[in-house]
Amino acid sequence: MARLQAYCDGSCPGARGPGGWAYAVVMENSGMSNLYGKGFAPQTTNNEMEVRAANELLKRLLYEDIGYENERITIWSDSKYCVYGFEVWRHKWAFEEFKRLGDKGKLELIPNANEWRTGHELIEKFKDVKFRWVRGHVGHYWNERVDAMAGSAMKAGRRNMAV
């Protein structure tokens, strides 16, 4: 069985501020339409939007309620933070309740703990999900598409905030 291919991206220029996220699920050769989603956050970071994009993608696949959780899924992201977080770090973070030892020797939440907690809970509902890295901004069609969607969600959200 071929893997279901999906792409996600987040956008937040600057250290903190308005941001956007987007995803695309590619339904090539299935006879079904591609699935898309995008959204906005008024106060966020780029890393938070990268993880939110993956979480929203996973939610969409679950809520479609046609058995995607049993499919083999590859999710592509140009964020190594997102890919390594889901592929390497999330089990350790979950075991440690999304906390780490801070600079002053006290336990503190890892950055974006709520998004990672949500992502961990979501991905555990799937049978076979792999995250893979794709180099950004080199002309890969689907990566460029979700990048543009995330950027447009951020810009539309900023315009609505100004009204």
Report, in angstroms and rounded to the nearest whole number, the Rg of the chain calculated over CA atoms. 16
pLDDT digits (tens, 9 = 90+) for 9-41: 999 988 899 999 999 999 877 767 899 999 999
pLDDT digits (tens, 9 = 90+) for 125-158: 999 999 999 999 898 999 999 999 999 999 999 8
pLDDT digits (tens, 9 = 90+) for 78-109: 999 999 999 999 999 999 999 998 898 999 99
Is pLDDT above 60 for 2?
Answer: no
| CATH code for the domain of 85 | 3.30.420.10
One DSSP character per residue, 36-72 reads EEEEEEEEE-HHHHHHHHHHHHHHHHHHT-SSGGGSE
Which phi and psi (to 5°) does residue 130 adopt?
-120, 140
pTM: 0.93
Q: What percent of the chain has pLDDT over 70?
A: 96
Residues 6+ apart with CB under 8 A from 47: 10, 79, 81, 82, 111, 112
Range of the domain at 77: 4-162
